[in-house]
Chains A and B, each alone.
Chain A
Amino acid sequence: MANAATLSSTPLPSASESSFPSEVWQLLGVFRSIQLAIVLLSLLGLGVLVGVLIPQEGLVEVFDIKAQHGQWYRPMAAAGLFTVYSSPWFIALQVLFFFNLLFGSFQWLRPATRAAVQLTFCGPEHALASPHKAVLSSASTADDTLPLVTKALKKRGYWVHRRHNSATGQTRLYAHQWNISRLGPVVAHIGILLLLVASVFGAFTGFKGQQMLAPGQTGDFTALDNFTPSMSAPWWQGSKPDWQMVLHDFDIEYYAADPTTPKQYISDLELRSANGKTLARQDVSVNHPLDYEGVMFYQANFAPTGKFFLTINGEPTVASINTKVDERPISLLPIGPPEARQSLVVFPFFIQRDEGVTRNHVQVFLHDGTTPIDVGSAKNLPPHATLFEGEHQRLSTRLGSIEVGFDHPEIATGFQIKKAPETPWMYTAFAIIILGTVLCFFSQRQVWVAVVPQASGSAYGRDNATMVYLSYKTNKAKWSFLKQRASLENALVKELHATLEIGSAELMEPAAA
């Protein structure tokens, strides 16, 4: 029987089918097995789980990790447990996974494509040998039977192909549904491969860095923090853009109804060419990056610079952090006649740094220079201190004979700057993965039919009948398919006035759900 191989199960390509020498192909067999895929998926899952459960450097301070693990820190660090995602064993698992995907996917590509597009026709022998079969004997002629069988299959969503053998008088039908879904796993795997390749390509050709800028400040690409030109530093160091970044303003917007929740962080950013020409200017905010010639500027963070804009007796004054009290940075600004030895203490509290602080604020007070400075805390102010809350409230207070006005602290904005030439490939890979996984959802079904005009002396007891042999195959949803088969056979029995000699319905046990 010509089609037996195709029908039993989709065969793996033999060594002779592949373009590799057979020894190489056999050696690669280790990489391409689905068992290895299952083991690797499980190990990768466990690895990531370890990374979630054990605090990772970068997310938690190394100091805290050491304190938490004591004597176990060294062996655990040596095993890469605090840097799981960049540890040699995790990268080795990823590399193995890549090769498993590569060889595993391509070994299935050809058979899956063939099975998805190939038309196969089977005779009664195949139906009788199949575990999933039905045989009907119809009093109708073959010519009357065929359109009814075809119609019943089409009604159930099948594509039906027909082949007639005039020598035997047999007509064979091949009906299939969602055969294209066979390509789903291969397509999804190719998408993942493309994703891995694109991210490696990006790592070699892109760059990433951070830049903090205070309003009015200008920066350039030579001084990016955490600049990661990936593995190809020499290629990129010379080809970083020569643009200037000018920050005109930075503003934190708060919700009117809830002044403690920031609504948006907005940086008015301008890009200038080396000769001072404006290339682009935009308000950059979270979710709204600036894209100029493929270089993206994201609103990433903000931080106080340590400068405060004040007025002292109406005169604009800038106070800067210049000393520390109890390990806390403060600004000590001599004020009034030198013999008074008076200083203005400006002590900032910041959301990110101080526990219990819900809003950046500043306390100012006069210090007489004789007693130790007591900065207290946000909730427990030293005596005579005045608390200024907010950044742009232009508050003022009288400290002795001095009128102190507080305008705002200077806040620098942080940009994440990135050039990612792989982006279109990443998006393509995402689209392919989505297509593949969606295709996988559908379950392919195949029905082979042989319509055979029967001479007298039929095996099924009815002379001059038309015999209809059906055999079925699906890969996934067997229970639903059985229900559909029963419905198909019942419809055929009714419409063809046929007898069901062998059928699915009788094989079904009553469902107890």
Chain B
Amino acid sequence: MICFEHVSFSYTEGHPVLKDLNFAIRDGESVGLIGANGSGKSTLLRVLLGLLPHRGSVRVDELEVEKENLREVRRRLGLVLQNSDSQMFMPTVAEDMMFGLLNYGMSREEAEERTDEVLKKLGLTELKRRHNHRISGGEKRMAAIATILAMDPDTMLMDEPTSALDPYNRRVVINSIKSLSNTKLIASHDLDMILDTCSRVILLGGGRIAADGPASEILQNRTLLESNRLELPLRYQR
């Protein structure tokens, strides 16, 4: 369970990016976080992970997101970054996947086993020994998801998981996201993908929650979306 209570954040004094946010995400929910550029989607994810300081209360399974709890909080949450190059910093895919597992005390054998298991689940077994700089953008995005999935987080946080992907790879990523049973919080502009993968949507506008409700309702509300500099998903535009 993720809980935001009166959460605010500003990069510079007097210009809040997040203003008094209140919401909760229950275990197993798939939530899409949408909003125009600069609406605070990525910032919200960073606040949740304790990468940015905040005012108010952010809790993950009753653990307050604060310095003493960060290690445990981050073990429960896994963030797939928008830029896979920043996520994949080890030489090979397998080493990248094992990085987090070994840091959290898993033995090398167990980590290897877990890595194999996740790669097999995502159909990426052939990537295991490949060097990160030799794989394509789509493969890298899938590998980035695999590195987080390997850690078996309770909640997957994804920042623009389908950006800069061709239609085929986009579909592969969407199908993979759909197959995950974890709680999901996905920040994206790709509203069709959000519609495919999320049952609930939180719409951020001007640092506040402009709407929070079922994806099928919010994503069909042209007036609401357009007033927040968004458009209807393509499938509703016909």
A and B physically associate: no
Residues of B within 8 A of A (CB): none
Residues of A within 8 A of B (CB): none
